[in-house]
Chain A
């Protein structure tokens, strides 16, 4: 289980997160929703140590990660797929995947086969430079790369951004499958609230850096007032 307690993060004088607390239960999908600029990306970047919080704590299965260097997160079981996907376009598909295992200190060829089985399009292009992949393929690559580290918790920042609805549905279905089959814990940041809630178990809503709602996904999706106020559908 991933927990954050009273997390506050500022960029200079701009406060991007104010005392945010929530828990992402193991083996479930927690959607983090909210408008552009609400602080969703900042939340994930604070969890993985790319920005340091003013105050508050981050716990992974009761281990305090608040001051842990980003470089150590993957080996500790926390994988973060950043906004804009983070494919290293100069490397090949296979090199990107290998890196996912190497960085976490556990590269195994069997993991590579597993990812290729999950995403056959990547197997076909394993020696191609990642630069040539389509948006959907890039998203598959970064999810596959994160899986190479065998994470307990997967942080995804707007995976649907710029993808066709059909591709989004395919990737979300696959994610849901992984969660069910392997007990993966997913924190899914999305502006596309409708799609995210369709596969999430829980949802939290950020507004101007504050956590304003915490509820079951089905409850959120059904609450018309809330949808209008924060989720835009």
Chain B
């Protein structure tokens, strides 16, 4: 009973982090048809920004905010400087550029911050608590992880569903040409989309780092799990990304807890294959075909 509960809680916490990372990928994919392979190193470098701020004796929260803001700026800058110049060319060009960025950002991080392991603080305890006889594995930081991802998601829903700007962003994502004819500044919407995606990616970077170690490659496995979560959800659907992240997190937690932690990567692949065999478009695929 205790193990079941704790496996589930660990899975949900982990799933939330995957969900955030998957959401970052989906936000870019659905508006530009680009898989941003640089998402992991982008989140890595913004986490180093937080670490630098914290090491300079500012509080965790100042570092946290600095990381999210630098994510916004980094996302916007990459869209403007790297992606925009190949707009209108085959999407593969931009995808390869994001792969190039993957390498470049790694190198820059190693130069600026060194490649040794450094510990990253957590703002809340990383120990569970006791309810009667039962040891509950939900930690203060786990609650913070779930809560912060939920808050970010609710804010994104409010933006996309509840504001004029969000409506224009969705229009630009769904149909660039028509949006342009209606007067939507499509380029600005894409810049903003990249900025928001990088912010969400930065959050996942901070959450993975919390109470753990960072080095220039610490996010690289997240790209695999985040990508699997995004594909599980259908790549096009923000809700799907979140559900995909949770499904993956809980499943992998059970595999790790009951079967063996060395099988986690294999299990992720297995889940992906099963879902894609049953629903080739992902869990949340739309029936409507779309112009790409």
Contact = CB atoms under 8 A, between A and B. Distances in A.
A23 interface: no
Contacts of B2: none
Contact of A71 (B167, B170, B185): B185
A107 B181 contact: no
B184 A71 contact: yes
A100 interface: yes
A174 interface: no
Nearest to B183: A103
A103 B184 contact: yes
A88 B180 CA distance: 12
Interface in A95-130: 95, 98-100, 102-105, 107
B179 A103 contact: yes
Contact of A90 (B170, B182, B183, B186): B170
Interface residues of B, dominant DSSP = helix
Among B175, B180, B184: residue with most chain A CB under 10 A:
B180
A102 B168 contact: yes
Contacts of A90: 170, 174, 288
Contact of A149 (B164, B174, B183): B183
Given A70-B180, A86-B175, A99 B186 contact: no
Contacts of B185: 71
A74 B181 contact: yes
Interface in B165-218: 167-168, 170-171, 174-175, 177-186
A97 to B, nearest CB: 10
B174 A99 contact: no
Interface in A171-197: none
A115 B185 CA distance: 24
Given A99-B168, A102-B167, A82 B183 contact: no
B170 A91 contact: yes
Interface in A143-190: 145, 149
Nearest to B188: A71
Given A99-B182, A104-B182, A149-B182, A82 B177 contact: yes
Nearest to B168: A102
Nearest to B161: A95
Given A90-B170, A90-B174, A107-B164, A75 B181 contact: no
A91 to B, nearest CB: 7
The 3 closest A-B pairs by CB, nearest first: A103-B183, A74-B183, A103-B182
Given A88-B179, A89-B288, A98-B167, 13 more contacts: A70-B180, A74-B181, A82-B177, A88-B175, A91-B171, A99-B168, A99-B184, A102-B164, A102-B168, A103-B168, A103-B179, A103-B184, A149-B182
7 contacts: A86-B181, A91-B174, A102-B168, A104-B182, A105-B183, A145-B182, A149-B183
